[in-house]
Amino acid sequence: VQPIMGVVDDTTLACTYAALILHDSEAKIEAAAIEKILAAAKVTVPGFYPCMYEKALANADVKEMLKSAITVGGGGGGGGGGGGGGA
């Protein structure tokens, strides 16, 4: 018996990848397009997932979301260099 979280994770990943494919193709992220990609990949997800992704990303700036996801926090500067050798 597979735990529910494993199924949810696979579903989430499949829909996320489909949305990223659409974004990368400069296509509109719509439920029908997500379903088409999933069907081509022979992936089955609950019917509400593609609709949920469409609504969640309808007005989102996906490019900016991706940039912020990979941006490392503004940590402090690097440590000081080693001291110079004495004479």
pLDDT digits (tens, 9 = 90+) for 57-70: 988 999 998 888 88
pLDDT the model gives residue 1: 46
Percent pLDDT > 90 in the chain is 55
Neighbouring residues of 14: CB distance < 8 A, sequence distance ≥ 6: 38, 41, 43, 45
DSSP 16-62: HHHHHHHHHTT----HHHHHHHHHHTT----THHHHHHHHHHTT--H
User: Which of the residues in the chain have pLDDT under 50?
Assistant: 1, 7
Model pLDDT, residue 53: 95
